[in-house]
Amino acid sequence: MIFQFESLNQFVTMDGHGIYVWTAVIVSVLFLAVLVINPLLRQKDVKVEIAKDQLREKQRQVSNREKT
């Protein structure tokens, strides 16, 4: 296996095809990253929401007990 380009500069330009190849790479990597990061963020949100619900429920129970 050998590096196919003579210089780093040539690796970037790819004899004129660099703009096409690198656009494809950057856009693909961005979209793939979003597909993994999005559920991570939503997972956190859902957990926080459920925890808040539980807290609210507990407070309601406590205040009900105080009334009686």
Residues that bind another protein (CB under 8 A): 1-5, 11, 14-18, 20-21, 23-25, 27-28, 31-32, 34-36, 38-40, 42-43, 46-47, 50-51, 53-54
Closest distance of CB 66 from another protein, Å: 22
DSSP-derived 3-state class of residue 4 = coil
Q: CA distances (Å), 16 to each of 4, 27, 42, 63, in order?
A: 15, 19, 41, 72
8/68 with CB nearer another protein:
8
31/66 with CB nearer another protein:
31
Closest distance of CB 60 from another protein, Å: 15
17 within 8 A of 25, measured Cβ to Cβ = no
Q: Token pair 């007990």 is at which residue?
A: 65
